[in-house]
Chain A
Amino acid sequence: MKPAPFDYVRPDTLAEACALLAGDEDARVIAGGQTLVPMLAMRLARPLRLIDILRLPELAGIREEAGAVVVGATTRQAHAERDPVIRASVPMLARVLPWVGHPPTRNRGTVGGSIANADPSAEIPLAAVTLGAEIMLATTDGPTSMPADDFFIGPMLTTIGQGECVSAIRFPVWPHQRIGVGFFEISARRSDFAFVAAAAQVALDDEGRCLDVALGVGGVGDRPLRLDVSCLLGTKLDAASVSEAVNTASLDMDAMSDLHASAAYRRRVASVLCIRALEQARGNASAKSWKGAR
């Protein structure tokens, strides 16, 4: 349980970090290290050089933009969990964060680290895909970005290339007044990897009709999946419509099979959790008054 030797570099700027990464294919980024260090300890990863980006000032912090909240890549999960801006404007992220690891790992683990790690059952990538977040990247040619849905391409696989580094995640903020989120997860123990996780966010008008809806599942496929339930727009999210929409949307959903859960089990649980998440989201949204501030 001791890592193989490596060089440790702590660059002063993001550009320097990208240049180091571009020039060395055996280099890896380390930030919180809550997934990477166990991999190193078990020697499942043996990079020759670690580039520590945790203290780069341009990567930290949470800021509000028009119609979005931008969460810096090295923002600690524990910090994001308690952040008033995230609670108010990206409630889904605030809702899933307590399910990410344990308090001690959230104190070190970063939001961007979970995104770059791309575990198919991880909650932060699920929230990013479900809400249609943008992954912002720093490259040697300057900043670029891409939709979360395109960024994740498989288990622990992203489109990120050599010399690139996740710099921030841009979560869209819904303009509606009555927004509710729902989240359910099944795992062997609390805070273990999810066999299935489902996240939903809905916006309702003053009569309880659905103005906007987003639904996603994690742990089922080889990456987080966003389900198309746009047929629910305009409905009152009654049980029959919700279950029909979920069943239609999850018909051709790819599911993984492993020692812990079969593909059939995952698919079945995914449908149930999606329905529950939508119901919980509707309940939370209707509890908010139409006139009340978010």
Chain B
Amino acid sequence: MKVDLRINGTIHSADIEPRKTLLDALRENFLLNGTHAGCEHGVCGACTVLVDGEPVRSCLMFAVQADGYDITTIEGLAPAPGELSVIQDAFCETHGLQCGYCTPGMILSAHALLQHTVTPTREDIVEAISGNICRCTGYGQIIEAVEFAAARLRIANTPRPQHGAPHHAQADQPIAEPK
């Protein structure tokens, strides 16, 4: 099937078999190898990409389902070639990665969180990366990296759009459930 995908702001076209996942299309058809193939059945989170700004598993979506959405991969985060985004830089600085296999997924999950939460709590961060498995770090430095990036983004006062506005405004106020 002929598919037009909007990836990192550019339209890419390819003839793709319906059974090909978005993950495999990104890696094989468009050579965006930053999206990592891990378990390929929706458990590990290594293949996380952003679809309309929200993290999803690219192994659980067929490329033919992805037309019309705005897809962001790890390659789309850096402001310019050779540079790093604030979150990527924070991961380097706090040693938020060891083998690096989970890192693109972790960074994209963190990116989506920090797009709509200016001051995330530790719980917010843990929830945001709960779908991403890391076997090296024990998660401690990853959480530190996201906290560090959040602090830097606050200082930089970067304007951040509220993705899908109304429900995110709500999401910042957890349901009050008194014990």
Given A104-B57, A105-B57, A105-B60, do A4 and B128 touch, yes or no (CB 8 Å)?
no
Instruction: Report yes or no: B19 in contact with A287, Cβ–Cβ below 8 A.
Output: no
Check A41–B18 contact: CB distance below 8 A: no
Give CA–CA (A91, B175) in the complex, Å.
9
A-B contact count (CB 8 A): 106
Binary A-proximity of B34-70 (CB < 8 A = 1, otherwise 0) = 0000011110010010010011110111101100000
A98 surroundings in chain B (CB, below 8 A) = 127
Q: Are A104 and B40 in contact (CB under 8 A)?
A: no
Query: Which residues of chain B in 68-121 are interfacial with respect to chain A, using CB atoms and an 8 Å cutoff?
Result: 109
Known contacts A34-B42, A104-B109: A8-B167 contact under CB 8 Å: no
Stretch from A77-85, A197-205, A208-216 at the B interface: A77-85
Q: Are A104 and B48 in contact (CB under 8 A)?
A: yes
Using Cβ atoms and an 8 Å threshold, which residues of chain B touch A94? 175
Closest residue of A by beta carbon distance from B127: A103
- Cβ of B1 < 8 Å from any Cβ of A? yes
Residues of A within 8 A of B131 (CB): 101-105, 191
Which A residues are in CB contact (< 8 Å) with B159? none
The reply on A87 being an interface residue by CB < 8 A is yes
Known: A8-B62, A103-B55, A104-B55. Contact between A87 and B40, CB under 8 A?
Answer: no
Chain A residues within 8 Å of B21, by CB: 37, 41
User: Is B42 in contact with A37, judged by CB distance below 8 angstroms?
Assistant: yes
Assess the B128–A79 pair: CB atoms within 8 A. no
Pick 21 A–B contacts, CB within 8 A, sort by A: A1-B39, A1-B40, A5-B19, A7-B18, A33-B60, A33-B61, A33-B62, A34-B60, A38-B41, A40-B19, A42-B41, A50-B18, A52-B65, A79-B167, A82-B167, A82-B171, A84-B166, A105-B56, A105-B57, A105-B131, A283-B179
Taking Cβ atoms with an 8 Å cutoff, the residues of B that contact A are 1, 17-19, 21, 24, 39-42, 45, 48, 51, 54-57, 59-62, 64-65, 109, 127-128, 130-131, 166-168, 170-171, 175, 177-179
Known A34-B57, A102-B45; further 6 A-B contacts with Cβ < 8 A: A5-B18, A41-B59, A42-B41, A82-B170, A104-B109, A280-B177
Measured CB to CB, the residues of A under 8 A from B are: 1-8, 30, 33-34, 37-38, 40-42, 50, 52, 54, 78-79, 81-84, 87, 91, 94-95, 98, 101-105, 107-108, 190-191, 280, 283-284, 287
Closest 10 CB pairs of A and B: A102-B131, A82-B167, A8-B18, A1-B40, A38-B41, A107-B54, A104-B55, A37-B60, A3-B19, A104-B131
